[in-house]
Amino acid sequence: MKRIIILGLSLLMTLFIACEDKKDDAAVEESTVITVTTENVNDRSFYYNLTIEAEDTNTWHVSLQNIDAGGGYYMPSIVLNNSVMVTIDNSVNFDELEEIPSNDQWSTDISIVAYGGDNEVLNYDQTNHTISVSNDNILIYIPTTHQVFKLHFDEYSDGILLFQFDEMTQ
Amino acid sequence: MLLLTIPALGEASQIVSGRVVDTATKAGIPDVNLFIPSQKIGVATDKAGAFHFTMLKDEKAKLHVSHIGYTSSTIRLNGSTEDMIIALDETFFELEDVVVTSTRTEKLHRNVPVATEVISKKDIIDSGALNVAELLSSRSGVSLQTSVDGGSMLNILGMDSRYILILVDGQPVTGKFNNRVQLDHISTSDVQKVEIIKGPNSSLYGSEAMAGVVNIITSTSTSDQSLNISARYGGTENKLTNDGLNHGSSSYRLGWTHTFGTLKASLNADMEKMETDKEIQQIEIDDIHKQSLRGRLLWLMNADHTLTVNGTVYNHDETGASQLMNTETFIDRTTLILTHDWQMRNGWLWNHALQNHNYSRNYVQTRPWGDVERDDITQEENIEYEGMLKKKFGLNEFNVGLEFSQAAYVSDRVDNGRQTVSSKSIFGQFDVHFWGNINAVIGTRFDMYNEDEPVMSPRIGIMYTFNDRWKFRSTWGKGFRTPSFMERFIDWDHVQFGYRVQGNPDLKPEISNGYTAGVEYYHPTVYQVSLMMYYTTFKNLIEDFAIEPALLSYHNIEKAVYKGLEIQGRWRASSSLVASWGLNIIDNRDGDGNIIPNTQPLSAYCRGSYQAPRHGWGFSTRVKWVGAYTPEEYDPDSGTYIHATETLADYVIIDISTSLKIWNPLIMNFGIKNAGDYTHDRYGPFIGRAVYIELSITLKGD
C-alpha cells in the first residue's frame, strides 16, 4: 500500500512538474499577434488573407469595403469572405482568448459583422457623424485549411482601419 | 470724498458724522453717497465707511443714503447727528445694478422696460464655471452640446446660438465655426456679469439678435491700483479611462491695473490647460491649451473727452494622437477696439468706435507615418465703425446711431475663394415716460446689405409701474439673421460618407416677430419673483435638406413658432441665506406643428447660498433639473435631422461650492461639479463628476 501511495505521489509530482515546465515554455513563447493597418478604403477596397498574412484580392478572408447603404450613401464596412465561418466570443479579453469554440457555435452568417449587422464592427453614429469600432472579439474558421483565427479591431480613422489577429491552436 | 459743499459756518450749523456699515457684517461700506436734498449738500464715505460734514440746522432735513448694491435709506435729522451708525442691507437682487444691454444706455435694472436677466459676479463665482459656455449651461432653459468638431453649441430656450447674438462688452463675437459662436474661449475670471435679454432685439443690434442677446461684460477694477493672481486645478472622474479623479484642467490668471495720472491701464492674462479630460476625450482630443491676453487703456483727456483702447489676443491649441491619426487645431483671435466718448456742453453724448476683429482656425490631420490627410484653414475678418449720439431730456432719453461694417471670409470648405459682405445700418430709439408710471422704449433699425434686400427691425417695449412692488413689462419686436457664408457658399465633399454639401446663394434672411409679456414683484430686501411669457414666430428659417440622395444643401422653410414661459425668483431668508430658482417651459414647433428636436420642454434650477457673517466662509449649492426630451439625430436616408427613436430620460445636475477667506486678500474656493456624475455618451453632458480648488489673492490700493 505504501508503495502504491509513493508511486501515486511520484506520478502526481511528475505531472505537476511537467505542467509547470509547459507553462514556463508558454510564458517565454513570443507573441504571434499580428497587427494590420489597412489601405484607405476611400481609395480602394482592402482584401486580406489571414493564412498567408498578406493582402490578396483573390484568396482573401477579411476585407474593408465601402458598401451601398441605400439612399445614395456608402458606408465603410468589414466584409468577410463567404467561404469562412464566424462567431463572437467576449467571455475574456482578446489576449486571454485561447479556447476554440465548439462546432455548434460557428455560423455561416458572415453579415453579422458587416454594416447593419448585429455585431457590426464599424458603427456609424448618426448624431455625431463619427464611426466607432466595436470591442467584440471575432473568431473566424477557415474550413479549407481548418484554421481558426481571433481578430480584434482597434481603431478606424478616415478610411483606415487598424486590427490585430492571431491563429488559435488547440 | 466725492462731493463736499460746506455751507457758511456759524451758530446755525451742525456737524453730521458717523459710519455707514453693512447690517450683516457690521463692516464699514466705502463710497456710500449721503445727500441732503433740501440743502444740496453731499458727501461720500471713506474707505472705513466714515463720513463727516457740516449742515445748516434744520430738524426737518432728511439725509438720503444710497449705494449700488445696498438698499437706499432716508433718515430724518431731528436728533443727534454726530457719531451716527447707519446700517444698510445689501440688495441681493441686483436690481440696483446698472444694465446696458436692453437699451444700449445705462439704466437701473429695476427701471429697465425690457426684461433683463443678470448673472452677477457672485453667481459666477458660486457656479464654479471655468468659461462662459459652462456658466450659461447651468441655467434653466439653456443647454450646451459639445460638437464632434470641438467647442460648444449653446442652445437658449430651444434656439441654438445662430439666433442668439453674443456680445462681449456690447460688441459682437466674431469667428464662428459651423455657423455657431463657441463660448468656451471666454474665461469667467474676466467676466463681471452677464446680461441676457430674450426676444427679438435686432432694432438695436441688427442681424442674429432674432431670439435674444447675451452680453458678457468684462471686469474693470474700480481701484486705481490692483493686482489679482489666481490659480485653479480641477479634475474629472474619467469614465473612459476609469482611473478616478486624476485628470482635468488647470488654469492661471493674472489681473493688473495701474493709474498714471489721467491714464488707467489694465491687463488680464489667462492660461488654461486641459488634458485627458473626459470632455475632450469624447471628441478624441488629448489636450487643449488656451491663452488669452486682454489689455485696456483708458485716457481721461479732459472733462469732455475719453479715449479707450481695448485689445485682445487669444490663442488655442488642441492636439490628439492615436495609432492612425494625429490631429491639431490652432485657433487665433485678435481684437482691437478704439472708442471715443465726447460729452458735449449742450448735453449730447457722442460715442463712437472703430474696431477690427480677426479669427483664424487651422485644422490639420496627419497620419503617424507622415501623410497629411487634411489641412483646413478658415479665416474671418471684420472691420466696423459705429457711432451713437445720446441725449437726456429730463427722464426721457433719445439716441440715434449708425454702423458700417465689412466682413471677409475665406475657407477651404467654401467655394469661390474670398467672400465679403458689407452693411450700412442706422438706428434710433426714444426712451420716454408717460404719466409718471409708464416707461416706453420705441426704436427701429434699418440695415442695408450689399447682397440682400434692406431689412427694417422695429421694437416697442413698455413698462407699467403699478407701485413700488409691482411692475408689468411687454415688448414687441422684429429680428433677422442674414445667411452665413457657410450656408451660402459651402462646397464640401464628405468623402467618408459619400455625400456632398453645397451652399445656396439665394437664401433669404430669416425673419422673427416676437412678443414678450411679464410681471415682476419686488420686495427690496426679502424676495423677488418674475414671470415672463414669450411668443416668437419665424419666417424663412434656414434648414439643411437633401436635394437628391447624397447631395445636401440649405433652404428657407416657411414658418416656426417658439413659445414659452419663464418664472424666476429670489428669496433672502436672512442676511446670510439666499435662495434663487427658475423654471422654463418651452414649446417650439415647426410649421407642421411638430416639436423642434433638441428642445428641452421643461427645465428648472435652484440655488442656495449661505454666507457666514464675519467668518469669511460661504457655501453654495445648485441643482438643475432637465425634463425628458427627444433629441435629434441625422437620418442618412432623408438627409435631414429627425427625432431620435429614444427619448432621453430626465436628469439632475448638482453643483456644490464653498469659499473661505484664509487671510484678508487670500480666498480659497473649492467645489464639486456634477456631484451625481450624470453623463450621456451621445447627447451630453459629457463631463461627469469634477472637483476643483482655486486660490485667489487680490491686492488693492488708491
Q: Is residue B210 part of a domain?
A: no
Considering CB atoms only, which of B495, B548, B682 is closest to A127? B682
Q: Count CB atoms within 10 A of the CB of residue B333.
A: 20
Residues B275 and B419 in one domain: yes
Q: Are B51 and B17 in contact (CB under 8 A)?
A: yes
- For testing the chain B interface, which of A125, A129, A132, A153 should be mutated: the one with the most B CBs within 10 Å? A129
In this predicted structure, the answer to whether residue B372 has a pLDDT above a threshold of 80 is yes
Q: Is residue B168 part of a domain?
A: no
Residue B40 belongs to a domain with what CATH number? 2.60.40.1120
Q: Which residues of A touch B (CB under 8 A)?
A: 37, 42, 66, 69-76, 124-131, 154-160, 162
Q: Which residue has the higher pLDDT, B100 or B402?
A: B402
pLDDT single digits (tens) B264-318? 999 999 998 877 655 555 556 678 899 999 999 999 898 889 999 999 999 999 8
Query: Domain locations in chain A?
Result: 1-30, 32-168
Band of residue A23 on the pLDDT scale cut at 50, 70, 90: very low
Owner of C-alpha cell 447627447: B683
Contact A69 B636 (CB under 8 A): yes
Q: Is residue B121 part of a domain?
A: no
Q: Are B59 and B77 in contact (CB under 8 A)?
A: yes
Q: In sequence order, which residues have a C-beta less than 8 Å from that of residue B325 and are 6 or more positions away?
A: A157, A158, A160, B365, B366, B367, B368, B373
Considering CB atoms only, which of B495, B637, B644 is closest to A42? B495
Q: Is residue B151 part of a domain?
A: no
pLDDT single digits (tens) B154-169? 777 767 777 888 888 8
Band of residue B398 on the pLDDT scale cut at 50, 70, 90: very high
Q: Is residue B70 part of a domain?
A: yes
In this predicted structure, the answer to whether residue B26 has a pLDDT above a threshold of 80 is no
SS3 A91: coil
C-alpha cell at B226: 490692483
Q: Count CB atoms within 10 A of the CB of residue B437.
A: 12
Q: Is residue B152 part of a domain?
A: no
Contact B498 A162 (CB under 8 A): no
Nearest-neighbour CA in chain B from A74: distance (Å): 6
Contact A128 B636 (CB under 8 A): no
Chain B neighbors of A130, CB-CB under 8 A: 148
Residues B75 and B223 in one domain: no
Contact B637 A130 (CB under 8 A): no
Expressed in percent and rounded to 5, the helix, strand and coil fractions of chain A are 20, 40, 40
From residue B525, give the alpha-carbon distance in Å to each of B69, B381, B429. Answer: 11, 48, 33
Contact of B605 with chain A, judged by CB distance below 8 Å, is answered with no
Chain B neighbors of A75, CB-CB under 8 A: 497-498
pLDDT single digits (tens) A101-149? 988 899 999 999 999 899 999 987 765 566 889 999 999 999 999 999 9
Q: In sequence order, which residues have a C-beta less than 8 Å from that of residue B628 and are 6 or more positions away?
A: B647, B648, B649, B650
Residues B347, B343: Cα–Cα separation, whole Å:
7
Ramachandran category for residue B85: left, alpha or beta (phi over 0 → left; psi -120 to 50 → alpha) = beta
Q: Is residue B500 part of a domain?
A: yes
Beta bridge partners, B528, equal: B522, B570
- For testing the chain A interface, which of B279, B324, B630, B682 should be mutated: the one with the most A CBs within 10 Å? B324
Expressed as residue numbers, the domain containing B40 is 13-88
Residues B585, B158: Cα–Cα separation, whole Å:
10
Band of residue B527 on the pLDDT scale cut at 50, 70, 90: confident
Residues B212, B162: Cα–Cα separation, whole Å:
10
Count of CB contacts below 8 A, A vs B?
Answer: 72
Beta bridge partners, B470, equal: B521
Which of A27-31, B483-487, B512-516, B593-597 shows the lowest per-residue confidence on average (mean pLDDT)? A27-31
Average pLDDT, whole number, for chain B?
Answer: 82
ipTM: 0.71
Could you say which of B88, B118, B136 is where a domain stops? B88
Residues B84 and B226 in one domain: no
Average pLDDT estimate for A38-57: 93
Q: Is residue B405 part of a domain?
A: yes
Residue B243 corresponds to which amino acid? D
B2: DSSP letter: -
Could you say which of B43, B69, B88 is where a domain stops? B88
In this predicted structure, the answer to whether residue B9 has a pLDDT above a threshold of 50 is no
Chain A neighbors of B148, CB-CB under 8 A: 128-130
Which of A136-145, B458-467, B591-600 shows the lowest per-residue confidence on average (mean pLDDT)? B591-600
Q: In what order do the strands lie in the sheet with B191-198?
A: B117-119, B191-198, B212-218, B164-168, B171-172
Contact of B363 with chain A, judged by CB distance below 8 Å, is answered with no
User: Considering chain A, what percentage of its residues have pLDDT values greater than 70?
Assistant: 77
Residue B641 belongs to a domain with what CATH number? 2.40.170.20
In this predicted structure, the answer to whether residue B1 has a pLDDT above a threshold of 50 is no
